[in-house]
Amino acid sequence: MQIVRPLILILALFLAGCGTIKRKTVEELTPPGVYKTKMFLEDVKEYNLTNESFYINKADVQASLNGFNQNLVISMKYKKPDSAMFIVKAKIGIEVARALITNDTVIINDRLNKRLIISGAEYFRRKYGLEPRLICMMFGDFLVKPDLIENEINCNKNLYQIDFLKDRNLYLMKFDCISKKLREASIENITGGKKIEFKFEEFVENNKKKYPELSTIFVSAEEIILKISIDKIDTDWNGNIDFVANKGYRRKILK
């Protein structure tokens, strides 16, 4: 169980009424063509899940940490503009961790070890090389605004790639020109050498929102691989996030 402790922390930090989802495959969408860079990226942002609040009722997670494998289940509530609550459960249904993440604060109820873990944005930047708000990149959202020279994008091969430097991070992003969603992305901190990689597959559409049913995340510094498969999602959710810190837990401040 000791090995699971850091895994729970990483999952909580990086994961974030539902009817039947109406799926639309990328082949049914508008065919690719020639775009201006700014126009293309604005179109990409239009399909971000985080444009509105949403609720992932269930997602299956295959987690690997240094060769130790664990199957988990997560749910996530996202409240616009920047609040997300994750609940991590074992396959048998026991809750192991609950986390509240905003743009400047991370609070985790570690139920296994009866700890309340608190950190700010600065710890997050130092530990992982990115802002807490970028967590939702795990669902294929495009959340970083690059400073790029305007040019034309030829999407005849259904793939557009950009790389840029911003806030001491090197970003590499590959977009699917048909779905106008991220297909692959990586964020590498140029000072600390820490790197996070994302890969997205099986795009679907629900209430004019697009997301990948399968996301793969690799965290190099921790040798963690997460495969997240969304099973049930409500993209028209309008509820509230109720996060209550457990009383009596040992408090740990990450600085």
pLDDT, one tens digit per residue, over 202-241 is: 888 887 788 999 999 998 877 889 999 999 999 989 999 9
The total domain count for the chain is 1
Domain limits for position 116: 4-254
The 3-class secondary structure across 187-255, one letter per residue, is EEECCCCCEEEEEEEEEEEECCEEEEEEEEEEECCCCEEEEEEEEEEECCCCCCCCCCCCCCCEEEEEC
Coil vs helix vs strand at 87? strand
pLDDT score of 26 more than 70: no
Rounded to an integer, the average pLDDT of 95-124 is 89
Coil vs helix vs strand at 161? strand
C-alpha span between 9 and 92 (Å, rounded): 20
**By percentage, how much of the chain surpasses pLDDT 70?**
83
11 band by pLDDT with thresholds 50, 70 and 90:
low
pLDDT at site 3: 39
pLDDT score of 15 more than 50: no
pLDDT at site 156: 67
pLDDT score of 12 more than 50: no
Q: Whole-number mean pLDDT of the chain?
A: 81
Among 214, 249, 167, 211, which residue's Cα sits nearest to residue 78? 211
pLDDT tens, residue by residue, 67-106: 789 999 999 999 998 899 999 999 888 999 999 998 888 8
pTM for the model stands at 0.80
Can you give the CATH number for the domain in which 189 is found? 2.50.20.10
pLDDT score of 176 more than 60: yes
